[in-house]
Every structure is written in structure tokens, then in C-alpha cells.
Structure 1
Amino acid sequence: MKKRLETLLKLGIFAGIVMYFANKFVESSALLRKLLKINSGYYYNWKHGSIYYTKQGHGDPLLLIHDLYPSSSSAEWNEVIEDLSQSHTVYAIDLPGCGRSAKPHITYVNYFYTQLLSDFVTDVIQEPTAVTATGISSSFATMAAHLYPDKFTKLTFINPQSPSQLATIPLNTAKFTKSIMNCPILGTFLYYIFCSENEIEYNFTEEYFYNPFLVSSKVMHTYYESAHWNQGSGRFLLASLHGNYINANVNLAFSSLTQDTQLIFGKELANAENIAASYQKLNPVTKVSYISKTKMLPHLEAPAKLLSLL
């Protein structure tokens, strides 16, 4: 028994050493391409950490909010932001836990981001703004517009998650998963696997884009870099997402929205029409549009088609 324990202890120490050096190798090479710049943007000193954002153009304000995932960032809007800035003052942020913004070691919840949007509009934009958001980020944009209706004018949500999915509560295994991801060496090692270049390539070719041949290596490398900015601190957001801590039941909030609201779906996204119908059932005046031959990120895959709807 004693020998078994000694063997297990040695194996554990050896595995820890291997993971430690593997982590260091990833951290030393992940940002070498330097695709994410900071010299063209600003930092908003929010109460929970610095928030990176860019501002360009002239006209009515428009806030662009990328999908919430550690590898995401405001680079999601690179193909449309210049055109939008011709008629808007465009603000694009890196959400906390993503890209160049702070990545606090916390459990991320929906209200955390709802407060960020409210504070950002108050402190930075300083006037009511239109919002365009992707994926699960549409949920806290909905909550912010519901709680602070005077701060938001028009809402455009690209491929929002279904209301039923957003109503899912944290999993029974969420605490265990979070405790594993919180471990400095093991959690970081697992995070680097989930956010590896192979995983990001899979996401783009199988989930984000309809036509995988349109995915550029630069876009994938930018997402990889975003996930590794501030080393492995994105693992706390990843654990919160997988544990459903970000979810919030938006049924009441969405049904009560008074702003002009539009939903845009990639036509080839699974269950797009069912999700659209569920939102229109909550708020019948909601406009719905589809972009053919696209999935999750039509603004990267077919930017001209998306711009025609905004």
C-alpha cells in the first residue's frame, strides 16, 4: 500500500512538472504574431478591471459586442466596423474574460456583464446608443436594455441563444468543474487544450462558418491570441460558461423590450428558425432576417450581406 502511494505521488509530481512546462511553452509562443493591437484603442477603468475598446467614425453611437468566449474579442467585427463607422460613432469592446480586457479570477454571471454595458454607456458613450451583439452576449444586452431602457435605442442580435437554453441553470457538476479549472497548473493545462489552435480551427470550420474554405488563418490566429492574452486567466470565464453560470432567463425582459429589436440568423445554423419563432412569440413585433450560406458569424463570413441588414 505504501509503495502504491509513493508511486502515485511520484506520478503526480511528474505529471505536474510536465504540465507546468507545457503551459510555459504555450505562454511563450502564443502571442508571437502580435495580431491583437492595443495602440489603436483605449482602456475604460471599470470597477472590476480595465476594459479595452476602440472608437471610430461619426454619427449616432453604435456599440458592438462580440460573442462571449475566451477566444473572442472585438476583432469579430473587423470586416464590418469600417463601413459602420461611415454613419455611426462605433464603439467595439473586448468583454471581461476575453481579448485585451481584464480577466478577473471570478465566477462570471449574466448580471456582471449587464452592469458593464450600463456603466460603459454612462461613463464612455454618454448618450443613448444602439447595440449589436452576437450569441450569448445578446442575453445581457437584453437585460441591460430592459433594466435601463433610456440608455439603449435599437437592438440587433446576431444568432442569439434560444430562450430555453438561456433558462438552463448551473449543472450539478459545475462546482467540481470550476474547482478543477481554478487549479493554477491543471486548470491552465486543460484550458490550453480547450483553446488550442486545433480546437479553434474546428470551431470555425464546423460551427462558426458555413463554408470552411472562407476561414482565413489570420482570423483563427487572432482568436487563438485572444484566448492566451493574460496567459491562462480565460479559464475562469470558460468554466463559468460550461457551468451555465452566464445563463439568465430573458423571457420577461425580452417580452418587455420597447426598443426597435431585430434578430439576424445564419440560415444554415441549426434550429435558427425555431429560435427565431420562440423570440417572436415573446415579443411579436421583433423583426427577423436570415443570411443564406452562413452560420454563427455572418459578419466575418458574409459581411456585405450583414451590412445590408443593419
Structure 2
Amino acid sequence: MSNVTSTQFPTVAATMPTYQWSWQGQSLSIAYETEGVGKPILLLPAFSTVSSRTEMSGLAALLKSQFQVTTVDFPGFGDSARPRLDYAAPLYRQFLADFIRDIYTSPITIIAAGHAAGYALNLAATAPNSVSELVLLAPTWRGPLPTMAQGQKPWLKGVRELIRTPILGQFLYQLTTTPSFLAFMYRRHVYADANKLTPDLLTQKRQLTQQPGARYGSAAFVTGGLDPYLDRSEAIAHLQSLTIPVLVAIGQSSPPKSTAEMQALAAVPNIVSHTLPGTLGMHEEYPTELYEVILPFLTSHQD
């Protein structure tokens, strides 16, 4: 069961409604906002320790003059509720399907980054009447530790459960969310231009990690618990099944393993692809460059 506690389809001014969603008997308040007027677009941020709808704000600001643009925080991240749930792929697949069913009355465009691109692809393949166009920004399907371990390993679940424990788990989580560690990870995988990592930006990211319950969703992502696919073949099969227009954007500075996965998706016949500046956080770091390829793609498919 779910319901929306304020206007679903605003006109021009931004609104801050709350989507009430239930999972396994627990009610969660989900933060989202909508701006602009026109054909609806849903922007989905990448999953990460600092996942937030705000990372899509630059792209949303560019698109809102021509479209109705909604950004949303996933359960367990951003400004949404962060209870001690078992955050896993089934939760997010169901959340995305329910959110789109309850908020929209016709097929929409989804622009999704990172792991969220995998969930958007899954939805487009399994509920084809809900999505009209799909834009995948630096799409990924395997979390950081499974990537390092070259696949899902039994010990990853143990690490996830350890981080969820009250004392030791909190201590380990704090070690991986210090300002210096966040800056290191951003320089290594998220931003291509280290000069953009201002103290204000890093402070905002650090604040996201310190919210009550923040470690639960983060632990699940890092250990592969939120991976939308188990291997590349599943993602390729879903992409090949689509009949809607799809654009894949690849960050030219992305890590080699991630680049290989993005290029495999881009190689599917009839997929539009562009390689642009940036790495895994290209949607936040280079919104203008993305807008310049997304807008022609979307307008070319308008009725």
C-alpha cells in the first residue's frame, strides 16, 4: 500500500511531497520533488554511501524548462526513511514499480545513474508499458566489493551483517565515512576533476553519511546486496528485449572494469551511446554535457 501526501503533478514551482510506501509491513516516508511542466521525466540518483536526489539537481535544472522533472531519494538514502531493513534488490525493484504506478498515469522517461540504471532497465524490460524512453548514465550493476573480489562471494554477506551491528558496525562504518576517505573515493572513482571537490561539497556528502540509519543501505550497496543483476548477460538480455529508445552515456574516465560493462551495453544493436567527460559521477559533475546529448535524444522521439 502507498499514497502521496501532496499534489502529484505540480506546474512550475518546486514542491516537496512525501510518498508513503510500505515494505514488509513497515511504512516508509520517501522524499521526492517535482519541477517544470511537460512530458514527465524521472531522474534516479546513483546508489552509493552518499546517494541523494541532489546529485541530479544540475541536470534537473536544465531539463525543467521543457519537461516535468521529478527527482527521488531511494529508501534508506538521502532524505528518505532509513529504518533497519534488509536492503536488497527485491525492495528497490518493488519500490520503483510502485512509485511509478502511483505517481504517473502514462509511460515516462527515466534517466538513471549507476546502479539505478540497472533497476530502470529491469523495470523497462519487465513492465514495458511504464517506460517510454530510457537514459542510462554510467550504468553499473556490480557493487564495489564484488567488483574487487571479481564476483559475489559468501563472505560479503558477513561483512554486510557486521556493519549492521550496533557497536562494531558503527565503528567500521565511521572509518569509511571520514572526510578524508570520502575525498579519496571521490577523486578515485566519482569525479574526474579533483578541483571540483570543494570543502562545501565534501561537507554536504559527509552529512548524508551521518544520518541515523545511514549505514544499513550503504553496507548493502558496498557489499553487493543492491546489485540489480548477477552478471552481464542478464542486463544484456533485458536491454535486447526493449523496443523503446535507449541512450547509454559512458564516462571517459570511468574505471576499466566499469567501462567494459558500459561498453557492452552500448554495443547492443539500436542503442544510442555517447562517451563524455567524467567517470561514475558524471551525472553530477557534467550535467551540461549530458543535457546536450539527452535533449536531442528525447526531442527526436516526441510525438
User: Quick check: TM above 0.5?
Assistant: yes
RMSD: 2.2
Say yes or no: does 1:256 pair with 2:241. Answer: yes
- Identity across matched positions, percent: 21
Q: What amino acid maps onto 2:284 in structure 1? A: L
Equivalent position SS for 1:201: helix
Q: Distance in 2 between matches of 1:138 and 1:296?
A: 12
Contact 1:174 1:242 in 2 (8 A): no
Contact 2:50 2:206 in 1 (8 A): yes
Q: Distance in 2 between matches of 1:215 and 1:163?
A: 25
Equivalent position SS for 2:32: strand
Q: What amino acid maps onto 1:276 in structure 2? A: M
Q: Distance in 2 between matches of 1:199 and 1:213?
A: 16
Q: Distance in 2 between matches of 1:188 and 1:237?
A: 13
Question: TM-score with structure 2 length normalisation?
Answer: 0.81
Say yes or no: does 1:238 pair with 2:218. Answer: yes
Q: Distance in 2 between matches of 1:96 and 1:274?
A: 29
Measure how far apart 1:237 and its partner are.
1.7
Contact 1:57 1:86 in 2 (8 A): yes
Larger radius of gyration: 1
Q: Distance in 1 between matches of 2:282 and 2:156?
A: 31
Q: Distance in 1 between matches of 2:291 and 2:181?
A: 29
Corresponding residue to 2:205 among 223, 239, 258: 223
Name which structure has the greater RCO, CA cutoff 8 Å, separation 6+. Answer: 1
Contact 2:191 2:280 in 1 (8 A): yes
Q: Distance in 1 between matches of 2:171 and 2:151?
A: 27
Q: What amino acid maps onto 1:236 in structure 2? A: Y
Q: Which moved more, 1:219-228 or 1:152-161?
A: 219-228
Say yes or no: does 1:44 pair with 2:19. Answer: yes
Q: What are the Cα deviations for residues 193-241 of structure 1, in whole angstroms up to 9, with x where unaligned?
A: 2122222211222211111012233322222222222x2x122222222
2:167 aligned partner: 185
Equivalent position SS for 1:63: strand
Equivalent position SS for 1:51: strand
Equivalent position SS for 1:79: helix
Corresponding residue to 2:184 among 178, 202, 206: 202
1:297 aligned partner: 281
Unaligned stretches of 5+ residues in structure 2: 1-13, 295-303
Contact 1:171 1:243 in 2 (8 A): no
Distance change in 2, residues 1:302/1:277 (3 Å): closer
Q: Distance in 2 between matches of 1:227 and 1:131?
A: 26
Moved over 4 A (4+): 162-166
Q: Distance in 1 between matches of 2:162 and 2:63?
A: 42
Q: What amino acid maps onto 1:76 in structure 2? A: E
Question: TM-score with structure 1 length normalisation?
Answer: 0.80
Say yes or no: does 1:82 pair with 2:61. Answer: yes
2:35 aligned partner: 56
Q: Which moved more, 1:246-255 or 1:145-154?
A: 246-255
Unaligned stretches of 5+ residues in structure 1: 1-38
2:298 aligned partner: none
Equivalent position SS for 2:217: helix
1:109 aligned partner: 88
1:129 aligned partner: 108
Equivalent position SS for 1:308: helix
Equivalent position SS for 1:47: strand
Alignment length (residue pairs) = 267
